[in-house]
């Protein structure tokens, strides 16, 4: 603050006045401190931004690795099975051919996942098809079935008949379903006092849409965290990445739909998403 050193009065030409002598040293020092603090704050912001970019790249890489882990595991399993069948006495040629075809299927799926995720994050055009959500869900279940059985999860599906087709990217929509199924399975990992139930359902909604529901019998979700679980890098898992649900919501919303979560009584959580079944959403070509 300025310090008052002295006051003087004067009279000149019929005018009277008062002069103040102020010491501005402390004020100047304070301004310098503020400028230095602002500079350091800016430097800190730049450093944090760099750290955030590095962290984001690392998290994204780990998320993509997580997405393609399933088809890669399938390729390894099928290749091992194929070798056993070929070295058997006599060789099981037909069985080896079938496992080889499954390996090719899983390899193509891994390639599709990478290309679709890349399109999602760099906002390129995506492949738009008419998708039968029931068939797409059945394919996902077949991919996840072995993993669910090893986790002692009992899966029940209820698919509505005569569901209309949706316009969208089949692989990306399947990734949403697969992520939600895996999350449900992970949530029930430590459940020992009841059956580990997982239900996936489809239904038509009014006026023009369809609904996909995935429900588990796990510990449920804290009601105060229902909105945050879709935030990027937010996770309730000790080893979670916080990317899966965020990516799921991005995909669903890009298809003109909505994804949300609710509590299921007395146990578990319910994840639901809607998709439009008519019209051509322009966001699918530009997100």
CA distance 220 to 69: 26
Assign 287 a pLDDT band (cuts: 50, 70, 90).
Answer: very low
Residue 160 has pLDDT above 90, yes or no: yes
- What are 226's two structure tokens? 């229902």
Note whether residue 57 is domain-resident. no
Instruction: Supply φ then ψ for residue 258, to 5 degrees.
Output: -145, 140
Do residues 88 and 159 share a domain?
no
Instruction: Supply φ then ψ for residue 186, to 5 degrees.
Output: -60, -35
Note whether residue 55 is domain-resident. no
How confident is the model over 202-249, as pLDDT tens digits? 999 877 799 999 999 988 877 777 677 776 544 555 444 445 788 788
Assign 55 a pLDDT band (cuts: 50, 70, 90).
Answer: very low
* More reliable by pLDDT, 122 or 263: 263
Note whether residue 147 is domain-resident. yes
Assign 125 a pLDDT band (cuts: 50, 70, 90).
Answer: low
Do residues 188 and 273 share a domain?
yes
pLDDT of residue 198: 93
Where in the sequence is the domain holding 142, given as residue range(s)?
A: 129-285
Note whether residue 56 is domain-resident. no
Q: Which of 106, 122, 138 is the last residue of a domain?
A: 122
Q: How far is CA 64 from the centre of its chain?
A: 11
Residue 195 has pLDDT above 50, yes or no: yes
Do residues 94 and 226 share a domain?
no
Residue 81 has pLDDT above 60, yes or no: yes
Assign 174 a pLDDT band (cuts: 50, 70, 90).
Answer: confident
Strand-pairing partners, residue 3, are 23
Kindly report the CA angle at 222 between 219 and 227, in degrees rounded to 5?
125
Do residues 187 and 149 share a domain?
yes
- Percent of the chain exceeding pLDDT 90 equals 19
Note whether residue 54 is domain-resident. no
Assign 257 a pLDDT band (cuts: 50, 70, 90).
Answer: very high
Do residues 174 and 93 share a domain?
no
Three-class SS of residue 263? strand
Q: Which of 122, 139, 154 is the last residue of a domain?
A: 122
Note whether residue 60 is domain-resident. no
Overall average pLDDT of the 177-192 stretch: 88
* More reliable by pLDDT, 123 or 71: 71
Do residues 99 and 203 share a domain?
no
Q: How far is CA 280 from the centre of its chain?
A: 24
* More reliable by pLDDT, 115 or 102: 102
- Tally the domains of the chain: 3
Residue 132 has pLDDT above 70, yes or no: yes
Do residues 204 and 93 share a domain?
no
Average pLDDT, the chain: 76
């Amino acid at each position: 603050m300025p310090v008052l050193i002295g006051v003087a009065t004067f009279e000149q030409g019929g005018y009277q006045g008062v002069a103040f002598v102020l010491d501005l040293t402390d004020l100047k020092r304070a301004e310098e401190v503020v400028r230095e603090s602002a500079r350091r704050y800016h430097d800190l912001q730049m450093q944090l931004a760099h750290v955030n970019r590095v962290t984001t790249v690392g998290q994204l890489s780990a998320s993509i690795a997580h997405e393609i882990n399933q088809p890669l595991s399938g390729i390894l399993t099928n290749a091992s099975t194929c070798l056993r069948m070929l070295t058997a006495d006599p060789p099981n040629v037909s069985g080896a051919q079938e496992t080889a075809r499954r390996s090719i299927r899983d390899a193509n799926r891994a390639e599709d996942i990478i290309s679709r995720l890349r399109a999602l994050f760099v906002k390129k055009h995506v492949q738009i098809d008419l998708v039968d959500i029931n068939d797409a869900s059945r394919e996902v279940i077949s991919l996840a079935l072995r993993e669910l059985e090893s986790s002692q999860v009992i899966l029940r599906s209820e698919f509505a008949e005569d569901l209309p087709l949706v316009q969208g990217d089949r692989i990306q929509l399947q990734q949403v379903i697969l992520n939600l199924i895996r999350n449900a399975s992970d949530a029930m990992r430590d459940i020992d006092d009841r059956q580990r139930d997982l239900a996936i359902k489809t239904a038509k909604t009014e006026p023009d849409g369809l609904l996909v529901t995935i429900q588990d019998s796990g510990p449920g979700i804290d009601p105060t965290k229902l909105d945050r679980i879709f935030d990027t890098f937010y996770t309730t898992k000790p080893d979670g990445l916080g990317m899966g649900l965020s990516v799921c919501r991005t995909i669903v919303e890009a298809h003109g739909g909505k994804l949300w979560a609710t509590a299921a009584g007395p146990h578990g959580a319910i994840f639901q998403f809607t998709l439009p079944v008519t019209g051509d959403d322009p966001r699918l070509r530009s997100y």
